[in-house]
Amino acid sequence: MPVPKSVALLLAALALPLLAAPSGAQEVNGCDLTARRVVCPNAKLNGVHLSDLDLTGADLRQADLSGAALSGVTLRSANLAGANLTGALVSESDWSGVNLVGATLKEARLNFVVLVGANLAGADLSSAVVYHCSLQGANLTGIKPRFVRVTSSRWTDGNVCNTTWNSSMGVPCSR
């Protein structure tokens, strides 16, 4: 017995959303943030809101993450050299070993971020707030800390050569 045309159309209409369902990939401006290894240098991710995402080893050199809200975003050993994180809010994230050489973090807010072994050489932290962060072994050589506020954070065994911090904090410059 043939299926009435109206029933067939109804079944097709109900199945259409299932066929068109997204694959779960989170893509922003052509950058697939759920790829096994994210490679998106120069990505335009300004203003994005990301949470609970593992971007370990990602290549986000020169990416624009200005105004981004990143909560629980893991960027262990990721490359964000030269990235723009102006005004970004980063919270409860593991950025151990991240490369932030020459990055701009002006007015950024880093809350409960693990930056153990991170390389922030030459980064601009002007007017940034660093709250309850772990900076053990971080390289802060040549950073621009103008008006940066560091509160309740831990920093040991790192490098602050060529910064205004090593003289004002009495921290020896180790090379």
The full set of domains in the chain, from first to last, is: 41-175 (2.160.20.80)
Residue closest to 136 by CA, chosen among 151, 148, 109, 118: 118
Residue 74, strand partner residues: 54
3-state helix, strand, coil in the chain (%, to 5): 10, 25, 65
Determine the average pLDDT of the residues in 134-163: 75
Q: What's the angle, vertex CA 109, arms to CA 151 and CA 165, rounded to 5?
A: 50
How much is the pLDDT for 157? 63
DSSP code, position 3: P
Region of 165 please: left (phi>0), alpha (psi -120 to 50) or beta: alpha
What is the pLDDT at residue 109? 97
129 phi and psi angles, rounded to 5 deg: -120, 125
pTM above 0.85, yes or no: no
Q: What is the pLDDT of residues 9-67, one digit of tens each?
A: 444 444 433 333 233 447 888 899 988 899 999 999 999 999 999 999 999 999 999 99
- Mapped onto helix, strand or coil, the DSSP state of residue 61 is coil
CA-closest candidate to residue 95, choices 54, 123, 63, 50 = 54
